[in-house]
Amino acid sequence: MSNRQLKLDLHPICRNGELIDKALQDILDQAEKKRAKEVEIVCGKGSGQLKKRVLRFLDKPENKERYHRLKKDSRNSGRIFVLFSH
């Protein structure tokens, strides 16, 4: 993984909503600071609730303006890619 790509695995904190939001905020901050092209967020397959939470967070207007677009992995539903156009 290059310095233009970042990865966030939410498995260790998947039961703590406050930590999830903080981790997502931190990874967006880090991506902007490092001018990353892409952030991979691993939310796992499970019931899909964590993925829905991540998508809701990313869809908030103040977060949506920070990235270019989202890409869902067609082969692995437990991953979301956040793409930037710095």
Q: How does the average pLDDT of the chain come out, rounded?
A: 92
For residue range 40-52, list pLDDT tens digits in order. 999 988 888 999 9
φ, ψ at 67 (rounded to 5°): -130, 165
Candidates 18, 17, 20; CA nearest to 8 is: 20
Q: Which CATH number fits domain 5-83: 3.30.1370.110, 3.20.20.150, 3.40.640.10, 2.102.10.10?
A: 3.30.1370.110
**What pLDDT does 77 receive?**
87
Indicate whether 14 pLDDT > 60: yes
* 23 contacts 62 by C-beta, under 8 angstroms: no
Rg (CA), the chain: 12
Show Cβ contacts of residue 24 under 8 Å, excluding neighbours closer than 6 positions.
Answer: 8, 41, 54, 57, 58, 63
Task: Please report, for the chain, the start and end positions of each structural domain, with discontinuous segments joined by +.
Answer: 5-83
pTM value > 0.85: yes
The confidence band for 69, taking pLDDT boundaries of 50, 70 and 90, is very high
Q: Which amino acid is at 82?
A: V
